[in-house]
Amino acid sequence: MARPAAVPSTASFRTLRPGRLSYQDGLRLQEELVAARCRGGEDLLILLEHDPVITLGRGSDGDHLLLPVAELVRRGVTVAASNRGGDVTWHGPGQLVGYPIVDLNRRGRDLHRYLCELEEVLIVTLARFGVPGERLPGKTGVWVGGAKIASIGIAVRRWIAWHGFALNLSADLTGFDLIVPCGLHGVRMTSLAGELGRPPEWAAVEEALITAFANILQIDYAGDHE
């Protein structure tokens, strides 16, 4: 992948790791931090898990829900509209969700390049565990052997990017059986645990991802957000 235009050497980001949140709480947290970034705050990478939820992106099709909403709720799955790009996806325990809040003004305001950078971050992270992630032409996200392991969907406000990616760590992917993931009929989903044959260490994946994020986006890691 072509390297982005040089980012000022003073550029840095911090991580925020709030644990497991409902989707709405995660959305409120992002809204607060995006507003702060628009006022001149710092770039951040939020890493968390969500309670079981199906989210409907701006490009979603209601036919991609395979059960009525009432039945999904009965099964303990929330259905939430989202202002990210993309179609329908599932989030839940065992999935590492990353919400980078990044100023694209200093990155050439290039959305395509930024999406490619996020894919590269995930590919490099998977490689750290010996798993060969790849892109597929015309499809956003990261794949392993034709199965999707990570989804990406972003939003932009005043050229501050938010929302982000979801990387499947756990082998339990049954939540995806309730939808047509990302609107792709017949898509197979996979996870890092499924590819490794064992559960990955969550902290090790986080640290590999943070390192890849710093290297690919060419910004310094300044530690956890206080």
pTM: 0.92
Among 65, 86, 64, 94, CA closest to 190: 94
Residue 209 region by backbone torsions, left for phi larger than 0, else alpha for psi between -120 and 50, else beta: alpha
The answer to the question of residue 152 being in a domain is yes
The answer to the question of residue 94 being in a domain is yes
The answer to the question of residue 164 being in a domain is yes
pLDDT digits (tens, 9 = 90+) for 124-168: 999 999 999 999 999 999 999 999 999 999 999 999 999 999 999
The answer to the question of residue 46 being in a domain is yes
List of the chain residues with pLDDT < 70 = 1-10
Catalytic residues: 182
The answer to the question of residue 103 being in a domain is yes
The answer to the question of residue 7 being in a domain is no
Residue 16 burial (CB count, 10 A):
16
Count of domains forming the chain: 1
**In terms of residue numbers, what domain contains 188?**
12-219
Under 8 Å between Cβ of 88 and 60: yes
CATH of residue 176: 3.30.930.10
Pairwise CA distance, residues 167 & 173, whole Å = 12
19, β-bridge pairs: 48
The answer to the question of residue 61 being in a domain is yes
